[in-house]
A and B are shown apart, each in its own frame.
Chain A
Amino acid sequence: SQQGEEDPQALSIQEGENATMNCSYKTSINNLQWYRQNSGRGLVHLILIRSNEREKHSGRLRVTLDTSKKSSSLLITASRAADTASYFCALLSGSRLTFGEGTQLTVNP
């Protein structure tokens, strides 16, 4: 099954700055999802973008999808300390979601 690969593995920024995380994959997809995980907690769904969509917004989140480059990016604008978490892209293959290793985002107050 295919797996998304997030980049960078870790990102540390100051509160108020923007954070960009990238996800690359290898085969065709129906959709790509982004999830967030706070330490010791379960994953929380952020955004689902379909293969025929190029960009999607939700509050301070912006997701782009470039199927020709097989990549997606998650942008968090005006970051807050509460955005500190791990962020995963997830790809659907058959009945399973496959996750990458994630990007650990630290937002310093």
Chain B
Amino acid sequence: GAGVSQSPRYKVAKRGQDVALRCDPISGHVSLFWYQQALGQGPEFLTYFQNEAQLDKSGLPSDRFFAERPEGSVSTLKIQRTQQEDSAVYLCASSPLMGVSFQPQHFGDGTRLSIL
């Protein structure tokens, strides 16, 4: 079956613009995660959804970052008034069950965001 799909793969925006990044998780997966990965670093957690409920958004770096998953499937990460430090790869992951303890996460290939 299809894996996690993210779009666009690449996004270039001017500083101050708003951007929206999309994640299509594996069908039926309950849990969805967003990560930010700077060049040469490991991914850093941003936020976690269980179905449509955003259970943890403690990793979002500022109130310019907003994520939603209104119908419990597709998710959108929105960044308002982008800054240069927002340049990174944004990874989405999903897993089939509720809770995160003993299950691997399935990652998409990410969106590479460049802010000029």
Considering the complex, give the chain A residue whose CB is closest to the CB of B102. A31
| B67 located at the interface, meaning its Cβ lies under 8 Å from any Cβ of chain A in the complex | no
Return the CB mask of A24-61 against B: 1 if under 8 Å, else 0: 00000011010100001111110010100000000000
- Known contacts A30-B101, A92-B101: does B45 contact A97 (CB below 8 Å)? yes
Q: Which of A1, A31, A97, A101 contacts B105 (CB 8 A)?
A: A97
Contact (Cβ within 8 A) B45 A98: yes
| B1 located at the interface, meaning its Cβ lies under 8 Å from any Cβ of chain A in the complex | no
A45-97 interface (Cβ within 8 A of B): 45, 48, 50, 88, 92, 94-97
A50 to chain B: closest CB distance in Å?
Answer: 7
Q: Give the secondary structure class of A's interface.
A: strand
A40 and B108 alpha carbons, distance in the complex (Å): 11
B59 to chain A: closest CB distance in Å?
Answer: 7
Can you report 27 A-B residue pairs in the complex whose CB atoms are below 8 A from each other? A30-B102, A33-B104, A41-B109, A41-B110, A42-B93, A42-B110, A43-B93, A43-B105, A43-B107, A45-B106, A48-B102, A48-B104, A95-B55, A95-B100, A96-B33, A96-B45, A96-B56, A96-B58, A96-B59, A96-B100, A97-B33, A97-B100, A98-B44, A99-B44, A101-B40, A101-B41, A101-B42
A residues sitting closer than 8 Å to B (CB atoms) are 1, 30-31, 33, 35, 40-45, 48, 50, 88, 92, 94-102
